[in-house]
Structure 1
Amino acid sequence: MKPTSRITIRDVAATAGVSVATVSKVLNARYGVSAATSAHVQAVIRELGYEASLVAQSLRNHKTNVIGILVADLEPFSTELLKGAAKAIKGTGYELVVYSAGGRTSDHAGWEQRYLSRLSGTLVDGAVLVTPTVVEVDFGQAVVAVDPHTGPTGLPTVDSDNLAGARTGVRHLLDLGHRRIALIGGRPDLESAKLREQGYCEELRAAGIPVDPLLIQPGNYDADDSTAAARRLLESPDRPTALFAANDISAIAAIEVAVAMGLRVPEDLSVVGFDNVPEAALARPPLTTVEQPIHEMGHRAIDLLIQLMHGEQTHDTHIRLSTRLVVRQSTAPVGRGT
């Protein structure tokens, strides 16, 4: 390198033996870099006399007073979460903008990074990612993940206690005397679905009931898939007396299948869902469900993001909220209809 050559960020990365993304994180004081690595990179920056371009500095200093929320699709969970985020934003001086992938993300892990690249630097000051597929992002601003696909990530996160919630829902059915309890599971790529299935299995085993693989059917958090799953379960000669669904949409689909088959809910089949979206209370019969505090998840995500954007000290960047059982009319003691 000639003495008169302008030092670039790539020169810093090569000299420090790290990636350009790591140097960028150090320059922008972002999370995801260890203290030792950060100190090493800063020493190389001083040694080489590197100065970020005026354009880059301008982008970093530019404030839009806008927060972006990225969702895979506008469905009941994300819609309810947005309500909590909208409430949290009041009085903060920030505005919200929502970016939806329109559901076109099922085969494209990492879609959030592509959306974030469109927002970087000039459109938003920070972003909330809802059920993201990524574990870290190179964005340049603060990011908070809600209910990430992979569970714990390098990002600040907000989620609910899916494992304990599932155990609570299954325990309710056990307390009503049910022993043949089926599961309509969620999306296998989502950590929340894995934890809910784990909770189902753990609670059955704790009651001394073997887990029957034939009673576990994939619903993928999707109404059509859950309808097919419910039909397979309820057409079985030894059908279940109760059903736990990994989300409310799947539970409501199961109720509709049962009614179409001439079964009575809850007399012939008790059903428990998960989420407590508004559709749960409007179901016929109204759905017993495990409530995760979706509004609060959106609220806490915005609160945490603003703290990070302001550079405030945060004692906990991985927030897990409690769930609770909401009992309605879709569950009853086993054998009540006989």
Structure 2
Amino acid sequence: MMTHGRIRMEDVARRAGVSVATVSKVVNGRYGVAASTTTRVHEVIAELGYETNLGARALRSSRTGILGVLVAEFEPFSTQLLKGVSSAMATSDYELLAFAGAIHGETVGWERRSLRRLGGTLVDGAIIVTPTVIEPGAAVPVVAIDPHTGNGDVPTVDSDNVGGARTAIEHLISLGHTRIGMIRGREDLESARLREKGFRQAMAAAGIEVDETLLATGSYRAESAVTPARLLLDRRDRPTAIFAANDLMGIRTVEVARSRGLRVPEDVSVIGFDNVPESALAQPALTTVAQPLAELGRTALDMLLTLLAGQNLEQTHVRLDTTLVERASTAPPTTDSASPA
């Protein structure tokens, strides 16, 4: 009689008419089992949906065949990276485990706790997305994508944040904007600092003095842009364009502008950073600087597989280019775009 719940090795053995030891040999790829018996056991495994226990597999072989992608939470940026990793997994022998480590509000150190839980027991290696802390000496090989604190002793892959921000501001300047505001990311984040650096570089190169009162700070979360956007847009001398340090804040800035009776881009232009799918669906569609999100994921996976194969990386810190994606949220300033609403 078949048991309810999880299918056990004993259930497979009973249905296939063989011993548990024989099923174990088949599952673990050991010799000494006739081809016809092996075929029969695999048929029963597929029929019953039997899955080996990952923890037990790790104890037997020191490998689980699983790679982890650790994210703080599943939001648009990390989801697109995950898609890139997943698409590249098709050419490897590994399976993928996605794990959200900061879903209970932990903002710093979540990746350390997550690695302790998963490393060496459930995963053979890990890709950590936007870690707040990256430390050498983890139980398994680790590659970090866009670490909050910059490059360390752990292999990393990120995008050209400085160059991308320069591109965003150069685009606005080319349209005729000189009074440009910025909604920054959290000041403790490396990518936020680099994007502000690119903003300042582009303004200086164009001979435009930065008005420090037009710089406000968010946290990359959409709701964090509401107060900064209001502060900038409610001014009588509001900026004619705003650079939001990521798309989620850019989209929310557009919404705040519209709630103030302002038209985008006629009254104020808005540009973001990332090119998450939501940016193309916004009303109006958001002009942005595209990070190659899927390629970031694929590159991180290639680096991790190289480490797992016991090989040295050609580059331990890889930086990918960004590109401008022009949409409907930016346009030349109108003669009255900086006047009070």
Shorter-chain TM range is 0.7 to 0.9
Counterparts in 2 of 1:165 and 1:60: CA distance versus 1, 3 Å: farther
Say if 2:175 is the partner of 1:176.
Answer: yes
Residue pair 1:267, 1:337 contacting (<8 A) in 2 also: no
Residue pair 1:113, 1:137 contacting (<8 A) in 2 also: no
Say if 2:94 is the partner of 1:87.
Answer: no
Q: Which amino acid aligns with 2:70?
A: L
Offset of 1:85 from its aligned partner?
A: 0.6
Deviations 1:165-192 (A, max 9, x none): 0000000000001000000011222111
Does the residue aligned with 2:165 lie in a helix, a strand or coil? helix
Deviations 1:56-88 (A, max 9, x none): xx8696111100111111111001110001001
The match for 1:45 is none
The match for 2:97 is 97
The match for 1:206 is 205
What CA distance in whole angstroms lies between the structure 1 residues aligned with 2:335 and 2:307?
53
What CA distance in whole angstroms lies between the structure 1 residues aligned with 2:113 and 2:279?
34
Residue pair 1:267, 1:336 contacting (<8 A) in 2 also: no
Q: Which amino acid aligns with 1:301?
A: A
Q: Runs (4+) of structure 1 moved beyond 6 Å?
A: none
Counterparts in 2 of 1:330 and 1:94: CA distance versus 1, 3 Å: same
Counterparts in 2 of 1:336 and 1:292: CA distance versus 1, 3 Å: farther
Does the residue aligned with 1:166 lie in a helix, a strand or coil? helix
Listed as ranges, the matches of 1:61-210 within 5 Å are 62-107=62-107, 109-210=108-209
- Superposition TM-score, scaled by structure 1 size: 0.80
Residue pair 2:159, 2:320 contacting (<8 A) in 1 also: yes
The match for 1:239 is 238
Listed as ranges, the matches of 1:261-272 within 5 Å are 261-272=260-271
Paired residues in the alignment total: 280
What CA distance in whole angstroms lies between the structure 2 residues aligned with 1:279 and 1:322?
21
Counterparts in 2 of 1:113 and 1:272: CA distance versus 1, 3 Å: same
Offset of 1:121 from its aligned partner?
A: 1.8
Q: Which amino acid aligns with 2:301?
A: I
Q: Which amino acid aligns with 1:158?
A: V
Indicate the larger mover: 215-224 or 175-184.
215-224
The match for 2:332 is 333
Counterparts in 2 of 1:233 and 1:60: CA distance versus 1, 3 Å: farther
Does the residue aligned with 1:274 lie in a helix, a strand or coil? strand
Does the residue aligned with 1:90 lie in a helix, a strand or coil? helix
Deviations 1:124-149 (A, max 9, x none): 11001111122314322110000001
What CA distance in whole angstroms lies between the structure 1 residues aligned with 2:244 and 2:119?
39
Residue pair 2:102, 2:110 contacting (<8 A) in 1 also: no
The match for 1:9 is none
What CA distance in whole angstroms lies between the structure 2 residues aligned with 1:144 and 1:336?
50
Offset of 1:264 from its aligned partner?
A: 0.9
Deviations 1:232-291 (A, max 9, x none): 100011100000000001111110111111111111111110000000000111110000
Unpaired runs of at least 5, structure 1? 1-57
Q: Which amino acid aligns with 1:69?
A: V
Offset of 1:105 from its aligned partner?
A: 4.9
Deviations 1:164-223 (A, max 9, x none): 000000000000010000000112221111100111111111111111111000111121
- Superposition TM-score, scaled by structure 2 size: 0.79
Offset of 1:101 from its aligned partner?
A: 2.1
Listed as ranges, the matches of 1:293-332 within 5 Å are 293-332=292-331
Residue pair 2:136, 2:153 contacting (<8 A) in 1 also: no
What CA distance in whole angstroms lies between the structure 1 residues aligned with 2:164 and 2:93?
35
The match for 1:34 is none
Unpaired runs of at least 5, structure 2? 1-57
Percent identity over the alignment?
54
Deviations 1:151-170 (A, max 9, x none): 11110001000000000000
Indicate the larger mover: 141-150 or 131-140.
131-140
Residue pair 1:128, 1:146 contacting (<8 A) in 2 also: yes
Look at both structures and tell me which one has the larger radius of gyration over its CA atoms.
2
Residue pair 1:70, 1:100 contacting (<8 A) in 2 also: yes
Indicate the larger mover: 58-67 or 126-135.
58-67
Indicate the larger mover: 322-331 or 187-196.
187-196
Q: Which amino acid aligns with 2:83?
A: K
The match for 1:254 is 253
What CA distance in whole angstroms lies between the structure 1 residues aligned with 2:297 and 2:282?
24
What CA distance in whole angstroms lies between the structure 1 residues aligned with 2:119 and 2:171?
47
Indicate the larger mover: 199-208 or 166-175.
199-208
Residue pair 1:105, 1:111 contacting (<8 A) in 2 also: no
Q: Which amino acid aligns with 1:305?
A: L
Counterparts in 2 of 1:106 and 1:241: CA distance versus 1, 3 Å: farther
